[in-house]
Structure 1
């Protein structure tokens, strides 16, 4: 089986696995037929459910508990205050699965530090959850050396013992291959960009504003909206939307920043589109149409309250905020309506969007775990990967009816106990294919999926899409200064020429050698993009 390419800095295998070698490792795909979505997935979108919830009609996707009663410890990031260890949610889930899962919740904000310390020690829990954004420094090499190969249990038809895992899309499993072995249990995600230009549709409708379809139209509208004396600005920092408008390769993960163009491997920072997107964003700031909070960069406060107050009308953020902002304003501000703009090309034509990775969070099993522990972990994952509309999904995501949630008019509502206990836990082990369902706001769920499907029709996969790549450690910090420099340029503190100089330095300090390394990877393995 393919190991990787190039020499290793850390004794671990660098590189990736794709093509023929991956096919031997990947689980067979077997679509779930337990529940049919109202809107099937298309063009890389999530699937959508737009109906009310009928608890009496919930299907069963795990007829009998597969767990054998063993104990499994799980270390996972947690945001907020973790619940008590022996709570009703944990008891209910463990009873359903047939496994005694013991949670070692760690602060999600400092998780990378804890992860590094634990993986460097000899005391590794049975299961460790690693989000993609924590896979920096030495973490990828630790993953390869510390965790068990799940291939013997899941590759090919073996996965059919766990039908909900068999229904996870193949692209997500492809991302779970590290150093030539199937190591991770994935949380699948849509490959369509998750960043949406969100806007106040209620105010747009009232004022007669037209949703822009080009960079020039956006600027003109921004100037029309802005009235600093009245404490109204057009937008926040629109850099993420600028990347989309100008067709810049994805910056969400280092491998996605590379793409084969006319036979040459090119990085996003070397492209004209990258500089043009920065320049357009700089002009927005210079025109005074950006809310003053955005000038603070990462230290800016939560945009929710000022967006609700109408201090700015447009901001780019994760698609989940479409529902989140709607839900938080529904009772106190019934006129409030947030919607998503379709992404447009800067010149008014069709956009050129780039695919994101199809899985972003993974659970790994300790290399020293016995077969019975591994089987118990897979029993956990087979429940947590149950599709929407099943009893297992409701239990995983909402807890025990009557204790953690109630259902009113077909809408599940968490109780205080539910909000406290049913959070950041079992969903971290594995998830079903990407799903959007908001029984409380079905129109938002429908609009989110349809937005993804339209964006997906203009989305292409770059050369390293879907591949789990471990760069040599010597290049780990090569791109460290770019994000700060982008923000300095857009806010007028630095010039475009400073970025051109930074790119030149990047090339000479290792960028060109890294290009050669990626090129060899591509020549040896081919691409996973289709």
Structure 2
């Protein structure tokens, strides 16, 4: 599960419209973190040119933090790209994550065949388990042998020490193709928000093609059908979660209350910041250092000790949540917003009673203050291998441009749904996936770029309205972050401490370490790079008037 999502896993949503502004006036050493001046970023990234689709208007209005909602499917889709992007016809190699069942491969998958025909050449995906994708990425980057395109989620990137140095060594500089008005050659990429592009600069080099981000990293989801069957209500606080754990869990019936990731919801519910927080004395404290974080650890120890967490998650923090959620063995978990429609598509066909619903943001205690963490402007990046030559690099950027087509286009429809009559049918204006579609169509091409968000999964009854309502409420609860609007790269020492520190925290949850060890673990984090990182972030904050 993502540590700071995304949520990859939250595919729907609308990124904040604020433009990234100045960091430090001079680029810092990458190993110590970087902050780049806005005027330099402006010279590196595309000039935004909105891509308008005639006649396409949302039923539910969007705003800075709320995706526009579409309650029905457009009667016709426009063709956004009239030429095939892969002009050489040469096979493209790509590595992408997947949180689900791997589809049949090239030669055995009609969805691949049809998309590749439209592209002008085949894409060969190396699909890796999203739950352990970070480990695969670390190994890949260390080897230096990367495929032509690599999808890197932000929540994995921040845990990889010296990522910027690796990216600068292994991946292409995209500014010669996309900076300023050059992006007009790739109009669907020029359609992205500027903030997302600016967040794709690593060590002063534009390298990532961003997945324009949902501002909300995750939410709590429940199996509403099971809650209803048991006569239970959705939780409105952490206290309610404790009560639900006891009411739901029944090992004899192979049913447990909780899956993975609930620690992040409780950190948020107790009021810990997503990253840094300004203290009353004008200094910064990191989330690990707050009493709210410590309270969340105590809470999670209770959940695990009570036996309310599914044994697969107890045994392996990276175990798949979706499968046990779909089977009904687990009833409550945390995931990105995009999991909502993904799970409905995966499980509802075989179980029409399957009803996943989202829980309104809640505090730790009833009546407490509720906050919602705020995501970065981009949640994933597609990187292109360095040294491929001008023609091939341009060809792969053209591929990313094609896969960036927004809702309302034929390209979007093909990438997300396949071919009508084969992978899906349309009944009463709503898409219904066929058995072949469920087998063959999986998130793959979508990871070769991003696209502006749209809340448009109208084939699932009530989802568009419910998601719009949730985002509208959550938008009023977004936490104050001292670094909103700044492009700051995490110092490598700090990035390298995330996994070992949080692995030790996970051991505390599971009773493998006493909770009394947390202050020692925290001090190790501070001494080994946390305090040094604080000085860097405080310098950036002061230079930008944030402290």
**Length-normalised TM-score, structure 2:** 0.80
| Matches of 2:49 and 2:306, distance apart in 1 | 53
Instruction: Describe the superposition over 1:451-498 as per-residue Cα deviations: whole angstroms up to 9, x where unpaired.
Output: 123212211352345766544544453343332332333344444431
Give, in angstroms, the shift of residue 83 of structure 1. Answer: 1.6
Instruction: Describe the superposition over 1:323-343 as per-residue Cα deviations: whole angstroms up to 9, x where unpaired.
Output: 344445535544443321111
| Matches of 2:343 and 2:496, distance apart in 1 | 36
| Aligned residue among 418, 422, 430 for 2:449 | 430
Instruction: Describe the superposition over 1:102-126 as per-residue Cα deviations: whole angstroms up to 9, x where unpaired.
Output: 4353545676677567656786554
| Matches of 2:285 and 2:51, distance apart in 1 | 39
Conserved? CA contact 1:286–1:492, under 8 Å? yes
Instruction: Describe the superposition over 1:414-472 as per-residue Cα deviations: whole angstroms up to 9, x where unpaired.
Output: 55655555434322221211233323214123212321232122113523457665445
| Matches of 2:133 and 2:231, distance apart in 1 | 46
Is 1:44 aligned to 2:62, yes or no? Answer: no
| Matches of 2:532 and 2:455, distance apart in 1 | 42
| Matches of 1:201 and 1:86, distance apart in 2 | 37
Conserved? CA contact 1:225–1:233, under 8 Å? yes
Give, in angstroms, the shift of residue 522 of structure 1. Answer: 3.8
The corresponding residue for 2:151 is 129
| Aligned residue among 191, 210, 225 for 2:215 | 191
Alignment of 1:273-312 (within 5 A): 273-287=292-306, 289-291=308-310, 294-298=313-317, 302=321, 304-305=323-324, 308-309=327-328
Give, in angstroms, the shift of residue 392 of structure 1. Answer: 1.3
| Matches of 2:171 and 2:308, distance apart in 1 | 50
| Aligned residue among 414, 425, 446 for 1:395 | 414
The corresponding residue for 2:377 is 358
Instruction: Describe the superposition over 1:33-67 as per-residue Cα deviations: whole angstroms up to 9, x where unpaired.
Output: 2133333433524333321463xx11232355566
Give, in angstroms, the shift of residue 305 of structure 1. Answer: 4.6
Is 1:504 aligned to 2:523, yes or no? Answer: yes
Alignment of 1:261-280 (within 5 A): 261-262=279-280, 263-280=282-299
| Matches of 1:420 and 1:289, distance apart in 2 | 33
Instruction: Describe the superposition over 1:361-416 as per-residue Cα deviations: whole angstroms up to 9, x where unpaired.
Output: 22223343443333322322222111112111112223344454443443444556
The corresponding residue for 1:314 is 332
Alignment of 1:336-375 (within 5 A): 336-347=354-365, 348-375=367-394
Task: Summarize the Cα distance change of 1:258–1:82 in structure 2 as closer, same or farther, 3 Å threshold.
Answer: farther
Conserved? CA contact 2:163–2:492, under 8 Å? no
Is 1:214 aligned to 2:237, yes or no? Answer: yes
Instruction: Describe the superposition over 1:142-161 as per-residue Cα deviations: whole angstroms up to 9, x where unpaired.
Output: 21133332223323333233
| Matches of 2:162 and 2:104, distance apart in 1 | 28
The corresponding residue for 1:103 is 124
Q: Which shows bigger deviation, 328-337 or 447-456?
A: 328-337
How many pairs does the alignment contain? 512
> What's the secondary structure of 1:100's corresponding residue?
coil
Alignment of 1:154-165 (within 5 A): 154-165=178-189
| Matches of 2:127 and 2:259, distance apart in 1 | 32
CA RMSD across the alignment: 3.6
Conserved? CA contact 1:67–1:375, under 8 Å? no
Alignment of 1:228-239 (within 5 A): 234-236=257-259, 238-239=262-263
> What's the secondary structure of 2:379's corresponding residue?
strand
The corresponding residue for 2:13 is none
| Matches of 2:435 and 2:213, distance apart in 1 | 29
The corresponding residue for 1:253 is none
Structure 2 gaps of 5+ residues are: 1-23
| Matches of 1:198 and 1:186, distance apart in 2 | 26
| Matches of 1:36 and 1:118, distance apart in 2 | 43
Task: Summarize the Cα distance change of 1:337–1:406 in structure 2 as closer, same or farther, 3 Å threshold.
Answer: closer
Give, in angstroms, the shift of residue 501 of structure 1. Answer: 1.8
| Matches of 2:103 and 2:326, distance apart in 1 | 27
| Aligned residue among 51, 72, 78 for 1:59 | 78
| Matches of 1:290 and 1:491, distance apart in 2 | 10
Conserved? CA contact 2:96–2:150, under 8 Å? no
| Aligned residue among 30, 40, 51 for 1:32 | 51
Task: Summarize the Cα distance change of 1:169–1:112 in structure 2 as closer, same or farther, 3 Å threshold.
Answer: same
Instruction: Describe the superposition over 1:157-215 as per-residue Cα deviations: whole angstroms up to 9, x where unpaired.
Output: 33233322122122221221111122111122202122x22223345445553434333
Q: Which shows bigger deviation, 72-81 or 455-464?
A: 72-81
Conserved? CA contact 2:93–2:147, under 8 Å? yes
Look at both structures and tell me which one has the larger radius of gyration over its CA atoms. Answer: 1
Conserved? CA contact 1:244–1:343, under 8 Å? no
| Matches of 2:460 and 2:113, distance apart in 1 | 31
Q: Which shows bigger deviation, 410-419 or 127-136?
A: 410-419
| Matches of 2:378 and 2:543, distance apart in 1 | 24
Task: Summarize the Cα distance change of 1:400–1:481 in structure 2 as closer, same or farther, 3 Å threshold.
Answer: same
Conserved? CA contact 1:174–1:466, under 8 Å? no
